[in-house]
Amino acid sequence: MARVHNFCAGPAALPLAVLERARDEMLDWQGNGMSSMEMSHRSKEIVAMAANAELNLRKLMNISDDYAVLFLQGGATGQFSAIPLNLAAGGKADYVNTGQWSKKAISEAKKYLNVNVVASSEAQNFTTIPDVSDWKCDPQASYLHYTPNETIGGVEFHSTPDIGNVPLVADMSSTILSRPVDVSKFGVIYAGAQKNIGPAGLVLVIVRKDLLGKASAQTPTFIDWKAQADADSMLNTPPTYTIYLAGLVFEWIMQQGGLDAMATVNQRKATKLYDYIDASGFYANPVSKHTRSWMNVPFTVADPSLEKVFCAEAKEAGLVNLEGHRSVGGMRASIYNAVGEDAVDALIAFMKDFAAKNG
């Protein structure tokens, strides 16, 4: 069977070159006579593999030695608890509410500290981002948390908010590695792997070292960032095969020309799709133009009864996982790094044909 164009929001498409290399190395990795997933995480080979993955990530994102890089489990959702426990348990923190993932982070943080929601776009159905000048920030907050890209609503910050000296914490699950980012502006960056990094099962945490060692006494050791940093992310058995695959993805991005090259392609893909939607007269995107996501493009048709027909016919044409999130409906194309421009072109061609038949 031919490979399909996969527009899933996550777990998402992986680069074909990475999958082919993983296939070729599956049974015998580096002459060891076994797969990397069968080897001890304490072996010198796996320790070196994880160290090389970290080194390449540092190169890609220009991460200085002022930051620890952790390869952990539990996904971004696990970090919703880890963040307040590591930074401010019993204290207070600022949160920006721009979508469903922001809401989940806020709900979890409220178990551990006083949450000040500095701004929210919920009244606008999360179709825009509140202007930073209107945020009601607390200069005494332990940190400010925001979600640069909301996968469900398809809204995205296109610049890093300037909040002064309060540490900035960002859930970059769906935008990391899609373009350059100035890591020095952040206290913490975290990201689930299953969009632009690799398969599900891994979460990256990039944390400024001066923020380590602040965890409350009740913090489980497993999610204590300092404990994990001291153990090189191997406090317990880490997801070794997922780290291996993430390392292959890092190498693939470097081969494409790094994050500047990824940004050029990603912006071109998104612009092409939005331009077609806007000009079609058949499809619509609900998001304010200045906050549209490069990674997740939701769209609707005037007649909701056509949504299931669209997705069914798209699947027959080899375009899969275009259903919108159950909370918002419609359709959604997630066009992460591994979704090639050819996939976007094929989607637009299908959309044109579908509109001609049903318009």
Mean pLDDT, residues 56-82: 97
pLDDT tens digit sequence for 168-224? 999 999 999 999 999 999 999 999 999 999 999 999 999 999 999 999 998 999 999
Residue 239 CB-density burial (10 A; 0-12 exposed, 13-18 middle, 19+ buried) = buried
* 197 and 262, same domain (yes or no): no
Residue 100 has which token pair?
A: 């469903």
**What is the extent of the structural domain holding 232?**
16-256
CB-CB contact of 137 with 113 (8 Å): no
CATH assignment of the domain containing 218: 3.40.640.10
pLDDT digits (tens, 9 = 90+) for 260-283: 999 999 999 999 999 999 999 999
Does some domain include residue 20? Answer: yes
Between CA 153 and CA 151 the distance in angstroms is: 6
Buried b (16+ CB within 10 A) or exposed e, 288-306: eeebbbbbbbbbbbeeeeb
For 94-134, how does the pLDDT look when each residue is reduced to its tens digit (9 = 90+)?
Answer: 999 999 999 999 999 999 999 999 999 999 999 999 999 99
Look at residues 238, 256, 274 and tell me which one is the last residue of a structural domain: 256
Structure confidence at residue 35 (pLDDT)? 92
1 pLDDT more than 70: no
In this structure, the answer to whether residues 199 and 272 fall within a common structural domain is: no
* CA angle, 125 then 145 then 64, to 5°: 135
In a domain, 6, yes or no: no
> What's the rounded Cα separation, in Å, for the pair 190 and 329?
28
The amino acid present at 185, given as its one-letter code, is K
* 250 and 266 housed in the same domain: no
Is residue 76 within 8 Å of 192, Cβ to Cβ? Answer: yes
- For the chain, give the percent of residues with pLDDT over 90: 92
Contact, 85 vs 216, CB < 8 A? Answer: yes
Structural domain includes residue 2: no
Segment 298-314 shows an average pLDDT of: 95
- Is there a single domain that holds both residue 36 and residue 91? yes
Is the domain of 204 the same as that of 345? no
Could you give the CA distance from residue 38 to residue 334 in angstroms, rounded to a whole number?
33
Looking at the predicted structure, is the pLDDT value of residue 89 above 80? no
3-state DSSP assignment of residue 300: strand
Residue 339 maps to a domain: yes
Residue 133 is encoded by which pair of tokens?
């000048």
Tally of structural domains, the chain: 2
Q: State mean pLDDT over 301-327.
A: 93
Q: Are residues 239 and 338 in the same domain?
A: no
| Residue pLDDT, tens place only, 230-253 | 999 999 999 999 999 999 999 999
CATH of the domain at 336: 3.90.1150.10
Shared domain check, 122 and 45: yes
Q: Are residue 263 and residue 242 in the same domain, yes or no?
A: no
Same-domain pairing of 309 and 345 = yes
Encode pLDDT of 26-35 as tens digits. Answer: 999 999 998 9
Catalytic sites, residue numbers: 101, 171, 195
Same domain, 197 and 330: no
Same domain, 155 and 291: no
Q: Is 220 in the same domain as 279?
A: no
